[in-house]
Homo-oligomer: A and B are copies of this chain.
Amino acid sequence: MDDTGQHLDHMRRTAPLVQNITNYVAMNIMANVMLAAGASPAMVHAREEAAEFTGLAQALTINIGTLSPAWADAMLESAVAAQAQGTPWILDPVAVGATGYRRDIGARLLDLAPTVIRGNASEIMALAGADASGKGADTADAVSQAQEAASALARRTGGVVAVTGPVDFVTDGTRNAEVANGHALMPRVTALGCSLTGIVGAFTVGQDPFEATVAALAFFGLAGEQAAEGVRGPGTFQVAFIDALYTMTPEDLARGARITLA
Protein backbone atom coordinates (compact mmCIF):
# COMPACT_ATOMS: atom_id res chain seq x y z
CA MET A 1 0.00 0.00 0.00
CA ASP A 2 1.11 3.56 -0.75
CA ASP A 3 2.13 5.92 1.96
CA THR A 4 -1.09 6.81 3.78
CA GLY A 5 -0.11 10.44 4.02
CA GLN A 6 0.00 10.74 0.24
CA HIS A 7 -3.73 10.09 0.11
CA LEU A 8 -4.36 13.10 2.35
CA ASP A 9 -1.98 15.21 0.31
CA HIS A 10 -3.67 14.19 -2.95
CA MET A 11 -7.14 14.96 -1.58
CA ARG A 12 -6.10 18.38 -0.34
CA ARG A 13 -4.37 19.32 -3.60
CA THR A 14 -7.40 18.36 -5.69
CA ALA A 15 -10.11 19.56 -3.23
CA PRO A 16 -12.70 17.32 -4.90
CA LEU A 17 -16.30 18.44 -5.28
CA VAL A 18 -18.31 15.80 -3.39
CA GLN A 19 -22.10 15.71 -3.59
CA ASN A 20 -23.67 14.49 -0.37
CA ILE A 21 -27.27 13.31 -0.08
CA THR A 22 -27.24 12.94 3.65
CA ASN A 23 -29.52 13.22 6.63
CA TYR A 24 -30.62 16.45 8.29
CA VAL A 25 -28.71 15.72 11.48
CA ALA A 26 -25.43 15.30 9.65
CA MET A 27 -25.52 18.05 7.04
CA ASN A 28 -23.85 20.84 8.94
CA ILE A 29 -21.16 18.85 10.75
CA MET A 30 -20.45 16.79 7.63
CA ALA A 31 -19.89 19.94 5.57
CA ASN A 32 -17.67 21.39 8.30
CA VAL A 33 -15.66 18.17 8.58
CA MET A 34 -15.12 18.10 4.82
CA LEU A 35 -14.21 21.78 4.58
CA ALA A 36 -11.78 21.47 7.47
CA ALA A 37 -10.15 18.46 5.85
CA GLY A 38 -9.80 20.29 2.54
CA ALA A 39 -12.60 18.88 0.35
CA SER A 40 -15.40 20.82 -1.34
CA PRO A 41 -18.77 19.46 -0.15
CA ALA A 42 -22.12 20.20 -1.79
CA MET A 43 -25.39 19.12 -0.21
CA VAL A 44 -27.75 18.68 -3.17
CA HIS A 45 -30.63 16.27 -2.71
CA ALA A 46 -33.77 17.57 -4.44
CA ARG A 47 -35.07 15.14 -7.03
CA GLU A 48 -35.35 18.06 -9.47
CA GLU A 49 -31.60 18.49 -9.59
CA ALA A 50 -29.74 15.77 -7.71
CA ALA A 51 -28.85 13.57 -10.68
CA GLU A 52 -27.95 16.57 -12.83
CA PHE A 53 -25.60 17.76 -10.11
CA THR A 54 -24.03 14.29 -9.94
CA GLY A 55 -22.71 15.02 -13.42
CA LEU A 56 -20.63 17.86 -11.94
CA ALA A 57 -19.47 16.04 -8.82
CA GLN A 58 -16.26 14.03 -8.53
CA ALA A 59 -17.74 11.74 -5.91
CA LEU A 60 -21.20 11.09 -4.45
CA THR A 61 -22.18 9.96 -0.97
CA ILE A 62 -25.63 8.67 -0.04
CA ASN A 63 -26.77 8.37 3.56
CA ILE A 64 -30.23 7.03 4.39
CA GLY A 65 -30.36 8.49 7.90
CA THR A 66 -33.49 10.59 7.37
CA LEU A 67 -35.38 9.00 4.50
CA SER A 68 -38.50 10.09 2.66
CA PRO A 69 -39.93 9.07 -0.71
CA ALA A 70 -38.71 12.14 -2.64
CA TRP A 71 -35.25 11.75 -1.20
CA ALA A 72 -35.15 8.04 -1.92
CA ASP A 73 -35.91 8.80 -5.57
CA ALA A 74 -33.11 11.36 -5.69
CA MET A 75 -30.70 8.87 -4.10
CA LEU A 76 -31.51 6.19 -6.63
CA GLU A 77 -31.29 8.56 -9.60
CA SER A 78 -27.99 10.04 -8.43
CA ALA A 79 -26.54 6.58 -7.81
CA VAL A 80 -27.58 5.53 -11.30
CA ALA A 81 -25.90 8.65 -12.71
CA ALA A 82 -22.73 8.01 -10.73
CA GLN A 83 -22.58 4.41 -11.82
CA ALA A 84 -23.11 5.38 -15.48
CA GLN A 85 -20.37 8.00 -15.33
CA GLY A 86 -17.86 5.94 -13.39
CA THR A 87 -18.01 8.43 -10.52
CA PRO A 88 -17.18 6.81 -7.17
CA TRP A 89 -20.16 6.68 -4.85
CA ILE A 90 -20.34 5.75 -1.19
CA LEU A 91 -23.31 4.23 0.63
CA ASP A 92 -23.90 4.91 4.33
CA PRO A 93 -26.75 2.57 5.35
CA VAL A 94 -27.75 4.32 8.59
CA ALA A 95 -29.98 2.13 10.77
CA VAL A 96 -30.84 0.07 7.69
CA GLY A 97 -32.22 -2.76 9.80
CA ALA A 98 -34.55 -0.62 11.88
CA THR A 99 -37.61 -0.45 9.62
CA GLY A 100 -38.96 -2.17 6.53
CA TYR A 101 -38.74 1.07 4.61
CA ARG A 102 -35.01 1.34 5.23
CA ARG A 103 -34.40 -2.29 4.32
CA ASP A 104 -36.18 -1.75 1.01
CA ILE A 105 -34.30 1.41 0.02
CA GLY A 106 -31.03 -0.08 1.26
CA ALA A 107 -31.47 -3.14 -0.94
CA ARG A 108 -32.24 -1.05 -4.01
CA LEU A 109 -29.16 1.11 -3.47
CA LEU A 110 -27.05 -1.97 -2.97
CA ASP A 111 -28.01 -3.15 -6.46
CA LEU A 112 -26.37 -0.01 -7.88
CA ALA A 113 -22.91 -1.24 -6.88
CA PRO A 114 -21.60 1.34 -4.41
CA THR A 115 -17.86 1.88 -4.73
CA VAL A 116 -17.62 1.83 -0.94
CA ILE A 117 -20.12 0.94 1.78
CA ARG A 118 -19.36 2.37 5.23
CA GLY A 119 -21.42 1.43 8.25
CA ASN A 120 -21.25 0.09 11.77
CA ALA A 121 -21.36 -3.64 12.45
CA SER A 122 -25.14 -3.85 12.88
CA GLU A 123 -25.75 -1.90 9.68
CA ILE A 124 -23.36 -3.99 7.58
CA MET A 125 -24.87 -7.21 8.95
CA ALA A 126 -28.42 -5.99 8.28
CA LEU A 127 -27.52 -4.90 4.75
CA ALA A 128 -25.97 -8.29 4.07
CA GLY A 129 -29.11 -10.01 5.32
CA ALA A 130 -27.53 -11.33 8.51
CA ASP A 131 -29.23 -11.10 11.88
CA ALA A 132 -28.23 -7.84 13.51
CA SER A 133 -29.10 -6.34 16.87
CA GLY A 134 -28.63 -2.60 16.36
CA LYS A 135 -31.51 -0.19 16.61
CA GLY A 136 -31.40 3.45 15.66
CA ALA A 137 -27.98 4.66 14.63
CA ASP A 138 -26.09 2.77 17.31
CA THR A 139 -24.53 -0.63 16.89
CA ALA A 140 -25.20 -3.55 19.18
CA ASP A 141 -22.74 -5.83 17.40
CA ALA A 142 -18.95 -5.96 17.42
CA VAL A 143 -16.90 -5.22 14.30
CA SER A 144 -15.51 -8.77 14.38
CA GLN A 145 -19.02 -10.22 14.12
CA ALA A 146 -19.56 -8.33 10.86
CA GLN A 147 -16.41 -9.38 9.00
CA GLU A 148 -18.05 -12.25 7.20
CA ALA A 149 -21.05 -10.13 6.21
CA ALA A 150 -18.67 -7.42 4.99
CA SER A 151 -16.72 -9.82 2.81
CA ALA A 152 -19.91 -11.27 1.36
CA LEU A 153 -21.18 -7.76 0.57
CA ALA A 154 -17.89 -6.80 -1.07
CA ARG A 155 -17.93 -9.85 -3.30
CA ARG A 156 -21.53 -9.14 -4.22
CA THR A 157 -21.04 -5.46 -5.11
CA GLY A 158 -17.49 -5.70 -6.43
CA GLY A 159 -16.72 -2.76 -4.16
CA VAL A 160 -15.16 -1.98 -0.82
CA VAL A 161 -16.91 -2.46 2.52
CA ALA A 162 -15.77 -0.69 5.69
CA VAL A 163 -17.10 -1.69 9.11
CA THR A 164 -16.24 1.07 11.54
CA GLY A 165 -15.96 0.75 15.29
CA PRO A 166 -13.20 0.71 17.92
CA VAL A 167 -11.02 -1.08 15.33
CA ASP A 168 -12.29 -0.68 11.76
CA PHE A 169 -12.35 -3.53 9.24
CA VAL A 170 -12.02 -2.82 5.50
CA THR A 171 -12.32 -5.38 2.74
CA ASP A 172 -12.74 -5.52 -1.02
CA GLY A 173 -13.40 -9.22 -0.88
CA THR A 174 -9.72 -10.00 -1.53
CA ARG A 175 -7.68 -7.50 0.45
CA ASN A 176 -8.46 -6.90 4.13
CA ALA A 177 -7.23 -4.23 6.53
CA GLU A 178 -7.77 -3.15 10.08
CA VAL A 179 -7.49 0.46 11.22
CA ALA A 180 -6.98 0.96 14.93
CA ASN A 181 -7.12 4.78 15.06
CA GLY A 182 -9.97 6.47 16.89
CA HIS A 183 -11.20 7.61 20.30
CA ALA A 184 -14.05 6.69 22.61
CA LEU A 185 -15.50 10.22 22.52
CA MET A 186 -16.23 9.99 18.78
CA PRO A 187 -19.59 8.17 19.15
CA ARG A 188 -20.61 10.82 21.68
CA VAL A 189 -20.75 13.44 18.91
CA THR A 190 -23.67 12.93 16.57
CA ALA A 191 -23.12 12.25 12.89
CA LEU A 192 -19.36 11.78 12.98
CA GLY A 193 -19.84 8.43 11.26
CA CYS A 194 -21.88 10.16 8.57
CA SER A 195 -19.17 12.78 8.25
CA LEU A 196 -16.54 10.08 7.83
CA THR A 197 -18.46 8.83 4.82
CA GLY A 198 -17.90 12.22 3.20
CA ILE A 199 -14.16 11.98 3.88
CA VAL A 200 -14.11 8.51 2.33
CA GLY A 201 -15.84 9.97 -0.73
CA ALA A 202 -13.27 12.74 -1.04
CA PHE A 203 -10.34 10.32 -0.66
CA THR A 204 -11.61 7.93 -3.36
CA VAL A 205 -11.45 10.49 -6.18
CA GLY A 206 -8.72 9.36 -8.58
CA GLN A 207 -7.45 6.71 -6.16
CA ASP A 208 -7.76 2.98 -5.57
CA PRO A 209 -10.96 2.73 -3.47
CA PHE A 210 -9.59 0.16 -1.02
CA GLU A 211 -6.42 2.11 -0.24
CA ALA A 212 -8.31 5.41 -0.21
CA THR A 213 -10.85 4.06 2.28
CA VAL A 214 -8.17 2.72 4.59
CA ALA A 215 -6.33 6.05 4.47
CA ALA A 216 -9.53 8.03 5.09
CA LEU A 217 -10.36 5.92 8.15
CA ALA A 218 -6.86 6.35 9.57
CA PHE A 219 -6.98 10.11 8.96
CA PHE A 220 -10.33 10.45 10.67
CA GLY A 221 -9.44 8.26 13.63
CA LEU A 222 -6.09 9.94 14.15
CA ALA A 223 -7.77 13.35 14.18
CA GLY A 224 -9.98 11.95 16.94
CA GLU A 225 -6.95 10.87 18.92
CA GLN A 226 -5.30 14.27 18.51
CA ALA A 227 -8.51 16.07 19.43
CA ALA A 228 -9.02 14.10 22.63
CA GLU A 229 -5.92 15.48 24.30
CA GLY A 230 -6.92 17.87 27.03
CA VAL A 231 -10.65 18.06 26.30
CA ARG A 232 -13.33 17.77 28.98
CA GLY A 233 -16.22 16.27 27.05
CA PRO A 234 -17.94 15.96 23.67
CA GLY A 235 -18.34 19.74 23.30
CA THR A 236 -14.67 20.65 23.45
CA PHE A 237 -13.88 17.40 21.63
CA GLN A 238 -15.96 18.30 18.58
CA VAL A 239 -14.28 21.68 18.27
CA ALA A 240 -10.79 20.22 18.63
CA PHE A 241 -11.64 17.49 16.15
CA ILE A 242 -12.47 20.02 13.41
CA ASP A 243 -9.19 21.79 14.13
CA ALA A 244 -7.26 18.50 13.98
CA LEU A 245 -8.69 17.66 10.55
CA TYR A 246 -7.48 21.07 9.40
CA THR A 247 -4.01 21.03 10.94
CA MET A 248 -2.97 17.41 10.40
CA THR A 249 -0.16 17.08 7.87
CA PRO A 250 0.45 14.10 5.57
CA GLU A 251 3.54 13.41 7.65
CA ASP A 252 1.46 13.33 10.85
CA LEU A 253 -0.85 10.83 9.18
CA ALA A 254 1.94 8.62 7.86
CA ARG A 255 3.43 8.54 11.35
CA GLY A 256 0.21 8.07 13.31
CA ALA A 257 -1.78 5.69 11.12
CA ARG A 258 -2.27 2.29 12.75
CA ILE A 259 -3.12 0.06 9.81
CA THR A 260 -2.75 -3.72 9.65
CA LEU A 261 -3.10 -5.37 6.25
CA ALA A 262 -4.29 -8.96 6.27
- In the bound complex, residues from chain B placing their C-beta under 8 Å from that of A98 are 42, 44, 49, 53, 56
Min C-beta distance of A142 to chain B, whole Å: 18
CA distance A231 to B238 in the complex (A): 15
8 tightest A-B CB contacts, nearest first? A235-B242, A233-B243, A42-B136, A233-B246, A31-B190, A49-B99, A235-B239, A49-B101
Query: Which of the listed residues A23, A56, A70, A101 has the most CB atoms from chain B within 10 Å of its own CB?
Result: A101
Binding site for B on A (CB under 8 A): 17, 23-29, 31-32, 35-36, 40-49, 52-53, 56, 65-70, 95, 98-102, 135-138, 187-191, 231-236, 238-247
Q: Is the CB of A40 within 8 A of B136?
A: yes
A47: chain B residues within 8 A (beta carbon): 68
A35 / chain B contacts, CB cutoff of 8 Å: 187-190, 234
Add 14 more A-B contacts to A36-B235, A234-B242 (CB < 8 A).
A28-B29, A32-B189, A36-B234, A40-B138, A42-B135, A44-B95, A44-B98, A44-B99, A46-B66, A46-B101, A48-B68, A48-B99, A49-B98, A56-B135
Q: Are A191 and B242 neighbours in the complex by a CB distance under 8 Å?
A: no
Chain B residues with CB below 8 A from A187, complex form: 35
A181 to chain B, nearest CB (A): 19
Query: 26 A-B Cβ contacts within 8 A?
Result: A23-B43, A25-B28, A26-B28, A28-B190, A32-B189, A32-B190, A32-B234, A35-B187, A35-B189, A36-B188, A40-B136, A41-B136, A43-B66, A44-B98, A46-B68, A46-B101, A48-B99, A48-B101, A49-B98, A56-B135, A233-B242, A233-B245, A233-B246, A235-B238, A235-B240, A235-B242
